[in-house]
Amino acid sequence: MKIQVRVITRHSPANYGSLLQSIATQKILDKIGVESKIIDYIAKEETGSRIAFTQLKQKKGWNKNPLKKMAYILGREPENIVMYHHFTKMRKKYLLMTKQVNSHEELRKYFKNSKAVFMTGSDQVWGPVSTGTYDSAYFLDFVPKGNKKIAFASSFGKAKFNEKTMKEYKQYLVQYDKIAVREDKAVEILDDMGIESEQVLDPTLLIDKNEWSKYITKNVVKEEYVLVYQIHNDQKLNAYAKMFAKKSGLKLVRVSPIFHQFKRGGKFVYLPDIGEFLSLVKNAKYLITDSFHGTAFAINFNTQFIEVLPNTGTSSRNQSILELTGLQDRILKDLNDFRFIKDKIDFSRVNEVMDAHRESCVKCLKFMLKDEEI
């Protein structure tokens, strides 16, 4: 009988990185002979009809004025609902999931008699969620006593937390049997707690370009282009991308699930399917991105890229993968620097590094499950 693994991860936010890492996690578990399901946990505050209200609570500048609050909701809620339903369709298409549960109580009730191994998966599972604080469900606090708990490629999202949060985190994390995390900073955080861990790649990097290419349905843009995949609001990135495209003589294309990004410049590709999204990254002449998963797929597809570190204090994950592959020089430090048009990445060396780490990471996952039958 195959091992039964139930994975909780940030699979439901309406962004491509969250969904792609969930697909990859399940695919890797399947490859090593494990039967897995993604726990379809979506907190009530993060459902399509409520997410705008949840996000508004974190916007202090909008919260004090009733007219601003109304404008924010009217502007964001319809867009959030469209994104939510589109990504819900893709989750159902690409993921094998449990029934949906929306609270800690429902999680405990649903799994109270389960004999499965429980795993916290990838993405920023141990950092603040949409409510502005962490969600203890991602620390497996609902799992019955006696069940094995592991974490694979999990991330804190940030490099620093206050003392109170660190104490709370430690109480949860000492209950895991084995832990592997995504960034070197996460290893340091756990080491400060006296908890052993391994560093592994994000699951999206454990699948090579040939396997990811199988998801591609069609080429979205015919001519050569510079692609922008931006997840943070950074006006400097917008200006740089426009000038980069002009100097390179290429068309500027922007992809996003967020409709209001159409104002930021370039041919706008709105809310594409996973296959179309991957096609855009694979076939781009250059990618300009502030996204960790944008960087990950540029590496996967050997796409020339320029890294604009996010201005949100969450750049440790981006820096970690760049250090691992020796690509720190792809970080944009000067908005007048357009050397990347001619300075190309030698991906032969990068691919050797990635192949070696893919093999070791899969071995690590097998080791974490070694007490079970594989």
Q: Which comes out higher in pLDDT, residue 198 or 184?
A: 198
How much is the average pLDDT of 208-213? 95
Q: Do 80 and 193 share a domain, yes or no?
A: yes
How much is the average pLDDT of 344-350? 96
Q: Do 238 and 330 share a domain, yes or no?
A: yes
373 exposure class (CB count in 10 Å sphere: 0-12, 13-18, 19+): exposed
At 130, which CATH number? 3.40.50
Domains: count for the chain: 2
In a domain, 351, yes or no: no
Check residue 56 and give its pLDDT.
Answer: 56
Assess contact for 185 and 316: CB atoms under 8 A. yes
Q: Measure the CA–CA gap between 350 and 365, rounded to whole angstroms.
A: 22
In a domain, 255, yes or no: yes
Check residue 27 and give its pLDDT.
Answer: 97
pLDDT surpasses 80 at 203: yes
Distance of CA 359 to the CA centre of its chain: 21
Q: Do 124 and 222 share a domain, yes or no?
A: no
Q: Do 177 and 60 share a domain, yes or no?
A: yes
| DSSP string of 146-198, one letter each residue | TS-EEEEEE--SSS---HHHHHHHHHHHTT-SEEEESSHHHHHHHHHTT---E
Q: Measure the CA–CA gap between 359 and 369, rounded to whole angstroms.
A: 16
Strands (E), 185-266: 198-199, 225-229, 251-256
Q: Do 92 and 238 share a domain, yes or no?
A: no
Q: Do 323 and 239 share a domain, yes or no?
A: yes
Give the tokens for residue 108.
């405990």
Give backbone dihedrals phi and psi of 232, rounded to 5 degrees, phi first.
-115, 155
**Which of 4-8, 62-66, 220-224, 337-341 shows the lowest mean pLDDT across its residues?**
62-66
Q: Do 195 and 214 share a domain, yes or no?
A: no
Q: Do 189 and 57 share a domain, yes or no?
A: yes
In a domain, 252, yes or no: yes
Q: Do 235 and 123 share a domain, yes or no?
A: no
User: 72-121: per-residue pLDDT in tens?
Assistant: 565 666 777 888 889 999 999 999 999 999 999 999 999 999 999 999 99
Return the bridge partners of 307, or none: 289, 331
In a domain, 85, yes or no: yes
pTM of the model: 0.91
State which amino acid sits at residue 326.
G
Range of the domain at 291: 209-303+305-344
pLDDT surpasses 50 at 374: no
In a domain, 352, yes or no: no
In a domain, 47, yes or no: yes
Q: Do 180 and 311 share a domain, yes or no?
A: no
In a domain, 269, yes or no: yes
Assess contact for 200 and 152: CB atoms under 8 A. yes
118 exposure class (CB count in 10 Å sphere: 0-12, 13-18, 19+): buried
Q: Measure the CA–CA gap between 340 and 244, rounded to whole angstroms.
A: 9
Average pLDDT, the chain: 91
Q: Do 60 and 144 share a domain, yes or no?
A: yes
Helix, strand, coil % over all residues of the chain, rounded to 5:
45, 15, 40
- End-to-end Cα distance, the chain: 9
**Which of 70-84, 192-206, 229-243, 328-342 shows the lowest mean pLDDT across its residues?**
70-84
Q: Measure the CA–CA gap between 201 and 206, rounded to whole angstroms.
A: 7
Check residue 331 and give its pLDDT.
Answer: 95
How much is the average pLDDT of 120-133? 89
pLDDT surpasses 50 at 329: yes
Using a pLDDT cut of 70, give the percent of the chain over it: 90
Check residue 72 and give its pLDDT.
Answer: 55
pLDDT surpasses 60 at 313: no
At 336, which CATH number? 3.40.50.2000
User: 140-179: per-residue pLDDT in tens?
Assistant: 999 999 999 999 999 998 878 999 999 999 999 999 999 9
Check residue 345 and give its pLDDT.
Answer: 97
pLDDT surpasses 70 at 70: no
Q: Do 14 and 154 share a domain, yes or no?
A: yes
Residue 235's CB is within 10 A of a number of other CB atoms, namely: 8
pLDDT surpasses 80 at 299: yes
In a domain, 99, yes or no: yes
pLDDT surpasses 70 at 276: yes
